[in-house]
Structure 1
Amino acid sequence: MTPPLLSKALLERLFVAASIRRWNDQACPIEFSELDKQAHKAMVVVLLAKHHVGVDWDKLLSYFCFEFLSRVVLTDIKPPIHYKLLEKHRIDLAAYVWGVLEPEVRGYGLFLALQDYFCNPPKDLESQLLKAAHDYVSAWEFGFIYRFYPKGYGVQDIQDSLEKSLAKHAPILEKVAHLELLASMFGQLRFQKRWSQTPRVPPTSVLGHALFVAFCAFLLSFDLKACRQMRLNHFLGGLLHDLPEVLTRDIISPIKHGVKGLESHLKDLEAEVMQEHIWRYLDADLAQDLRYFTEKEFDDRYIDPTTKEVKSLESNTALWECFNEDRFNGVSGRLLKFCDQLSAFLEAKISIAHGIKSDVLVHGAKKIQQKCQSTFLQGVHLGALFGEFA
């Protein structure tokens, strides 16, 4: 049995993003974190990509990972200064980012292209979609600041610049009907905090948590030798697994599991409200596609290529032995559940390491570790990740 390549340092890097405050030189009515920005951007770019033909999803997710990690390394540089520095020091900055990240991502081949990506920025469809999503979410954030303090120094200039950027992206953005409604709805998950019953540092939102699960599931898919489509599905499944909480809010596990029949009834209610408030704004095919990632989210499952029916699997090995091919559109719900638990564990442990601890955090982390530290999948000892933080 081998441990995964996913490193403790990279996991901690993701939580650094939760501590980075955006727009920290402006009068903000609420706090915006870099982790939430990247998660919101991921949600929006998925919507944009689903409305464009010919998207290379491998490229799109690789580009997203490159930009996410690099922004965590360089995010203290204000955007106007960042862009000016890139004009003369792009190669040096790319080398610096790679020097910081290389020890943390070592072993995952997709990151070997990271430095070249920044030295020679692509101008393909995937990079255009990411840029559009990036600017759209930045404008969404800045809208709060602009309405709160429109006469602040530089505020109007930033607003004008963002409006010009959105105008340039109009051909991409306009393809998504109800984009403003959907993006704002997804953005609500930025306001819902995890572990809401106890203080915690850094506080993380449901949306930030979803990106953490997506990122880990995507990378661990390489360890597990998942096929291309399953890797992509694991990112989407992680990103969307808590989407119903936009409408139900987070119901903590002790209540879910402690009240007989509540969990199954909650699933029925989630399906109803998702249909009423989200799916009806999407075309039928897209709604069905995204529904695949929000219903039975922790089941191992695949789509029958002939009947197009979703099939859940009880066996721990059936998905990997029989359906690990692109044509089956498989999802390892067990992997997503593991990453969900890993995220909750680290949310508690990292807060404790910062000196903010409570009985809820201590007992919660201990319980999750006891439950998950012996997890194996495809010969990979996933549970070894818990030992890194013991």
Structure 2
Amino acid sequence: MQTPRITSDFLRKIFISASIRRWNDQACPVEFVELDKQAHKMLIAYFLASYEEHTRNIQIDWEKLILYFCFEFFERMVLTDIKPPVFHKLQKHHRNELADFVVQELHLELAPFGMLEDLESYLKSPPKCIETEILRASHFYASKWEFDIIYHFNPYMYDVENIKKIIDQEVEQFYHLTGIAHITLYKKSQELIAMFGQLRFQKRWSQTPRVPETSVLGHTLVVAILGYFLSLDLNVCKQMRINHFLCGLFHDLPEILTRDIISPIKRSVKGLDGQIKRIEEEAVKEKILSFVPSNIAEDILYFTQQEFSNRYKVEHLVYQAESAEDLIKFHNRDEDNPVCGEFMKFCDRLSAFLEARISIGHGISSKDLVEGSQGIYDACKHQELNGLDLGALVRNFI
């Protein structure tokens, strides 16, 4: 039985980003944290990439986009509190030294995946390609979205007008990308990006104090990263790895429209879970799918409807596999566009387990956190798939 290569230290470092405050030198009406910004950035990157494929027929290497995003996110995890203007100036003169420091800090976590050389190469000399261009555009647009809130809250603070001007100019560099032009020109597209951003205001475990607090949006990124890195151990095809990342990123998208209804309520009221699903599906169709290109609409439906089912596609028709084992045995190939829903359910539970246990480790505990994490531990401690001991991640987390 193989043990996952992802470590407890790596998982903790991911959650540190939920404690990294952004714009902490500004008067902010809400608290902005790095984990949420990165999740919003990746959602925007997905839309920009999909628009390029749909309108300009440009082929996106989705795995490259995901890996490059992760490299940039991990860099921000390590270089925590450097203000963006200072960070960009340091990169001009000390890019290689900063990259060496990041690689050194992440050596134990990424060496087992054989990613250190790729990480170092990317941070020292990012390739000029459509994937990096999309990530830069989504980075600046996510920052603009945050700062627009700050600007409208208090436009008279020192240097606020200048910061707004700089950010707007940075976004303007990417008007040649169809998605940025679309978001800029069309109010419905702007509202859609804002709608995703609002998931950062919906807190997980909202009925109990917790440190660090994580949002629904931040949670989706954690599930996405878990889905991708654990997929590398599952020995699944490239398309399944990509799908697991995107499914993690999108799986809670309907909660924008219904809020985070906690599991005990769903389980305790007979028929409620099914009714909630129907309401969510109707709301997604009305408020999201009607405003996006067909390729994005098809993806959102695939990643949000029956998000924890084992499924694959044949000529755009979705089929269910009998089990996770059957899916991997018979449909582990790119052309079947597979998603292992049971595996994604494990990643979702693991993220919730980490949220609870990390808070308890910080000394902030409650009956809900203790009982919730214990329930997940009992459900997942012996879970395995395709020769991978997934349960080891909860058994060994200390």
Match of 1:256 among 262, 266, 285: 266
User: How many residues align structurally?
Assistant: 388
Contact 2:2 2:388 in 1 (8 A): yes
Instruction: Determine helix, strand or coil for the equivalent of 1:18.
Output: coil
Unaligned runs of 5+ residues in structure 2 are 53-57
Q: Within the alignment, does 1:358 sit opposite 2:366 as a pair?
A: yes
The aligned residue for residue 276 of structure 1 is 286
Q: Within the alignment, does 1:167 sit opposite 2:195 as a pair?
A: no
Contact 1:9 1:104 in 2 (8 A): yes
Q: Write the distance in 2 (CA, Å) between the matches of 1:112 and 1:370.
A: 38
Alignment RMSD, CA only?
1.1
Q: Within the alignment, does 1:25 sit opposite 2:31 as a pair?
A: no
Contact 2:103 2:116 in 1 (8 A): no
For residues 53-97 of structure 1, give each alpha carbon's deviation from its aligned partner in whole angstroms, at most 9, with x where no partner exists.
211112111100000010111131111111111122111110000
Q: Within the alignment, does 1:58 sit opposite 2:63 as a pair?
A: yes
Instruction: Determine helix, strand or coil for the equivalent of 2:133.
Output: helix
Deviation at 1:389, TM superposition (A): 2.0
The aligned residue for residue 121 of structure 1 is 126
Contact 2:47 2:296 in 1 (8 A): no
Q: Write the distance in 2 (CA, Å) between the matches of 1:86 and 1:389.
A: 35
Deviation at 1:286, TM superposition (A): 2.2
Q: Write the distance in 2 (CA, Å) between the matches of 1:169 and 1:351.
A: 40
Q: Within the alignment, does 1:141 sit opposite 2:143 as a pair?
A: no
Q: Write the distance in 1 (CA, Å) between the matches of 2:161 and 2:106.
A: 36
The aligned residue for residue 379 of structure 1 is 387
Match of 1:337 among 332, 345, 362: 345
Match of 2:333 among 325, 342, 358: 325
Q: Write the distance in 2 (CA, Å) between the matches of 1:22 and 1:377.
A: 38
The aligned residue for residue 205 of structure 2 is 195
Contact 2:349 2:376 in 1 (8 A): yes
The aligned residue for residue 55 of structure 2 is none
Instruction: Determine helix, strand or coil for the equivalent of 1:19.
Output: coil
Q: Within the alignment, does 1:75 sit opposite 2:80 as a pair?
A: yes
The aligned residue for residue 157 of structure 1 is 162
Contact 2:189 2:291 in 1 (8 A): no
* Matched residue type, 2:126: P
Q: Within the alignment, does 1:215 sit opposite 2:222 as a pair?
A: no
Instruction: Determine helix, strand or coil for the equivalent of 2:176.
Output: helix
For residues 164-199 of structure 1, give each alpha carbon's deviation from its aligned partner in whole angstroms, at most 9, with x where no partner exists.
111111122014554311110001100000000100
* Matched residue type, 2:2: T
For residues 4-47 of structure 1, give each alpha carbon's deviation from its aligned partner in whole angstroms, at most 9, with x where no partner exists.
00111110011000000000111111100000000000110000
The aligned residue for residue 318 of structure 2 is 310
Deviation at 1:111, TM superposition (A): 4.4
Q: Tell me the TM-score normalized by structure 2.
A: 0.96
Identity percentage of aligned residues: 49
The aligned residue for residue 44 of structure 1 is 44
Contact 2:324 2:340 in 1 (8 A): no
Contact 1:62 1:110 in 2 (8 A): no
Q: Tell me the TM-score normalized by structure 1.
A: 0.97
Unaligned runs of 5+ residues in structure 1 are none
Contact 1:48 1:175 in 2 (8 A): no
Tell me whether 135-144 or 78-87 shows the greater mean CA deviation. 78-87
Instruction: Determine helix, strand or coil for the equivalent of 1:157.
Output: helix
Instruction: Determine helix, strand or coil for the equivalent of 2:60.
Output: coil
